[in-house]
Amino acid sequence: MADLKAAQDFLEQYASAVSAIVESVSVSIVRVQRHDDEGHNRWRVGRARTSWGSGVVIDVEKGHVLTSYHVVSGTQDVDIQLSNGKKISAKRIGKDPENDLALIKVNLAGLALKALSFGDSSALKPGSVVIALGNPDGDRVVATSGIVSSLNQSLRGPNGNLMDGLIQTDAMFNPGMSGGPLVNSRGEIVGLNTASMREAQGINLAVASATIQKVVPDLAEHGIVQRPRLGIAGERRELYEGLAEHLKLDQTHGVYIHQVMENSAAVQAGIQPGDILVVVDGQPVTGMDSLSRALLGKKFGDILAVKVIRKLDLLDMQIKLIEDNDASKSTPS
């Protein structure tokens, strides 16, 4: 009986803690809906995909609300509905399909709202307690609690690219919770709900706050993420047997460079067709997706250390990311 009483007390304390966190952040959770909710060309993966979604206030003064791109894709005109039922017209001012993120601007003056701050998603571990929130009906906030199941998960995003670094949790994302926040025990945003897999019970994926914080400044200033490109066309290729060991590389694949664009950052660095790119800024590059991840958050003017294999030699190079890189804008990297 003593063990049962201790278990009951623990569960009551846990439930009270979750309720307190939900209550403290609920005012920041909104419903987001397109003016046209027919759902043409919408990205639908899993049960979280509906014709509306949720959002979270991240800056009251600037009127910024963060949501999932697939919720507001194809339109700039959206409606925001607060937890008290009040509806406000808003505009999508930024989009990042590669990470399924969108930024909305709305006039929040005179409204009793508060912004949620970002937490450190890199501090999460399997077993960390998280709470998923959303406002699917517009007049009430819904929440599910659970733990982090796994980190650094991947999923193909709205434009077909590989979204990486995702947080997997068993906190269920119900329909309409896409774009709502995943918060930690401090009520801080550590992720944004993006997908719940129907065919795999318990697999719910959120974009990590580490990714979001790299993207939001560009969305606010430019409307898109300004991603510097190297100016190459390449493909994932396996390193032939013994080469990685000979060069003391802890990877089996790299990016084989077919073409280097004229006037690009790559050509200025001395990279040549036939080179195999294996490291960018200290990160192993094993394919075009991992190359895109290595460049996420980088700015024009940044100088990166890269390693390429040329014949049997491993060459160290410096590459400066340049803004005037028209040739590279139409290439994957």
pLDDT of residue 42: 47
The mean pLDDT value for 92-104 works out to 94
Confidence of residue 1 (pLDDT cuts 50, 70, 90): low
C-alpha span between 96 and 94 (Å, rounded): 7
Confidence of residue 67 (pLDDT cuts 50, 70, 90): very high
Domain assignment present for 121: yes
Domain assignment present for 97: yes
In the predicted structure, residue 47 carries a pLDDT above the cut 60: no
Query: Do β-strands 204-208 and 232-238 pair in parallel, antiparallel, or remain unpaired?
Result: unpaired
Q: In the numeric block, which tokens belong to residue 211?
A: 């990714």
CB 289 within 8 A of CB 265: no
- Can you tell me whether residue 229 is helix, strand or coil? coil
Domain end among 222, 252, 282: 222
Residue-wise pLDDT for 118-177, tens only, equals 999 999 999 999 999 999 888 789 999 999 999 988 887 766 777 878 999 999 988 889
Strands (E) across 123-244 are located at 129-134, 142-156, 162-169, 181-183, 189-196, 204-208, 232-238
Instruction: Please check whether residues 252 and 137 belong to one and the same domain.
Output: no
Q: Any catalytic annotation for residue 222?
A: no
CATH of the domain at 250: 2.30.42.10
Q: Select which of 100, 164, 218, 289 is catalytic.
A: 100
Instruction: Please check whether residues 194 and 274 belong to one and the same domain.
Output: no
> What is the percentage of the chain residues whose pLDDT exceeds 90?
55
Domain assignment present for 157: yes
The range of the structural domain enclosing residue 308 comes to 232-329
C-alpha span between 138 and 87 (Å, rounded): 9
Q: In the numeric block, which tokens belong to residue 53?
A: 């979604």
Give, as one character, the DSSP assignment of residue 118: B
Q: Select which of 73, 128, 178, 290 is catalytic.
A: 178
Domain assignment present for 286: yes
Residue-wise pLDDT for 7-40, tens only, equals 888 888 988 999 999 999 999 999 999 876 544 4
The mean pLDDT value for 166-193 works out to 94
CA proximity to 56, closest of 121, 131, 148: 131
Instruction: Please check whether residues 11 and 121 belong to one and the same domain.
Output: yes
Q: Select which of 70, 128, 196, 328 is catalytic.
A: 70
- Can you tell me whether residue 25 is helix, strand or coil? helix
Domain assignment present for 227: no
How many domains are there within the chain? 2
The mean pLDDT value for 197-225 works out to 86
Least confident of 1-5, 59-63, 113-117, 209-213: 1-5
Instruction: Please check whether residues 189 and 161 belong to one and the same domain.
Output: yes
Phi, psi angles (nearest 5°) of residue 178 = -60, 135
pLDDT of residue 330: 37
pLDDT of residue 201: 65
Instruction: Please check whether residues 244 and 185 belong to one and the same domain.
Output: no
| Rg value, the chain, Cα | 22
Give, as one character, the DSSP assignment of residue 77: E
Domain assignment present for 315: yes
Instruction: Please check whether residues 245 and 208 belong to one and the same domain.
Output: no
Domain assignment present for 99: yes
pLDDT of residue 38: 47
The mean pLDDT value for 247-256 works out to 91
pLDDT of residue 32: 94
Q: Which residues pair with 163 in a beta bridge?
A: 155
In degrees, rounded to 5, the angle at the alpha carbon of residue 17 between the alpha carbons of residues 12 and 23 is: 125
Domain end among 167, 196, 222: 222
Domain end among 176, 200, 222: 222
Instruction: Please check whether residues 188 and 253 belong to one and the same domain.
Output: no
Q: Any catalytic annotation for residue 246?
A: no
Give, as one character, the DSSP assignment of residue 46: B
Q: How far is CA 259 from CA 26, 159, 330, in A?
A: 51, 24, 13
Q: Which residue do the tokens 């001395």 mark?
A: 270
Q: Which residue do the tokens 């340049």 mark?
A: 322
Q: In the numeric block, which tokens belong to residue 177?
A: 């919770």
Residue-wise pLDDT for 254-306, tens only, equals 999 999 998 899 999 999 999 999 999 999 999 888 888 888 778 888 999 99
